Amino acid sequence: MRTAVYFEGRRAGSLDWRQEPGGVRAVLDCELCSACILRVYAETEGAAPLYVGLPEPQGGRLRLARRLSAETLRQAGWTGKEPLRVYLAERQEQAPRVEPEKRAPRTEPPRTGDAVLDALIEAGAVSAERTENGVCLSCPFSPHEPFALAPAFVLCRAEQGRAVLDWKTEGAAEPAAPSEMD
């Protein structure tokens, strides 16, 4: 597939995007349109912008020939996709700003009232959900690795690769220890 490449809103050249076994071959040919170091970025629907590469000046043009592996494309969410927009820029263009009134309201994470557990929630090491009686905390768990809820390990239970702690908040009974070892 051949697609146009743009620089500052005007067409500057083209990019050939060819599927190959194990990845994609990207070949760029553009006019030399700036004294700045430009990079090639591609965008498509439903995936993050993809850094294609750094073209080099050759004979008054910018050229790039690069193979992008299937693993690179998979990690970027580009498996089976082709670029809808390709551009040259010094850095990746930012996504359009969402106006403040359209932004989803920020919700505060639930609190336990325990300084250590609340710090783990704020740091993002532990996920927390409100429950009828308090807060349910959880984090990834492996019996052979350290885990974020270790400061309260005697109150935790293991479920499907996660350490889970049901913390009862003020007005509820004390935190409950697991009934049996899992």
Q: Write the pLDDT tens digit of every residue in 46-89.
A: 888 899 999 999 988 999 999 999 888 888 888 888 899 999 98
Q: Do 132 and 54 sit in the same domain of this protein?
A: no
Q: Do 79 and 119 sit in the same domain of this protein?
A: no
Tell me: pLDDT of 23 over 50: yes
Q: What is the DSSP string of 36-78?
A: S--EEEEE-TTS--EEEE--EEETTEEEEEEEEEHHHHHHTT-
Q: Do 77 and 124 sit in the same domain of this protein?
A: no
Residue 145 maps to a domain: yes
Sorting pLDDT into bands at 50, 70 and 90, what band is 11?
A: very high
Q: Do 6 and 80 sit in the same domain of this protein?
A: yes
Both structure tokens of 150? 């270790």
Average pLDDT over every residue of 96-113? 61
Q: Do 72 and 146 sit in the same domain of this protein?
A: no
Q: Do 76 and 6 sit in the same domain of this protein?
A: yes
Q: What pLDDT shows up at residue 157?
A: 93
Q: What pLDDT shows up at residue 180?
A: 52
Q: What pLDDT shows up at residue 94?
A: 54
**CATH number for the domain including 68?**
2.60.40
Give the total number of structural domains in the chain.
2
Tell me: pLDDT of 104 over 60: no
pTM for the model stands at 0.51
Q: What strands lie across the sheet with 39-43, from one edge to the other?
A: 50-53, 39-43, 85-89, 2-7, 10-20, 23-31, 61-69, 56-58
- Looking at the DSSP bridge assignments, the partners of residue 165 are 137
| CB 143, CB 137: distance < 8 Å | no
Tell me: pLDDT of 98 over 60: no
Tell me: pLDDT of 177 over 60: no
Identify the residue with better confidence: 3 or 107: 3
- Range of lowest pLDDT (13-17, 99-103, 152-156): 99-103
Q: Do 31 and 82 sit in the same domain of this protein?
A: yes
Q: Which domain holds residue 83?
A: 2-89
- 108-161 confidence digits (pLDDT tens): 788 888 888 888 888 888 889 999 889 999 998 888 888 889 888 899 999 888
Q: Do 74 and 145 sit in the same domain of this protein?
A: no
Residue 144 maps to a domain: yes
Sorting pLDDT into bands at 50, 70 and 90, what band is 36?
A: confident
Q: Do 74 and 137 sit in the same domain of this protein?
A: no
- Phi and psi at residue 8, to the nearest 5°: 50, 45
Q: What pLDDT shows up at residue 173?
A: 45
Say how many residues make up the chain.
182
Between CA 3 and CA 17 the distance in angstroms is 8
Q: Do 68 and 23 sit in the same domain of this protein?
A: yes
Residue 18 maps to a domain: yes
Residue 163 maps to a domain: yes
Q: What pLDDT shows up at residue 96?
A: 41
Residue 182 maps to a domain: no
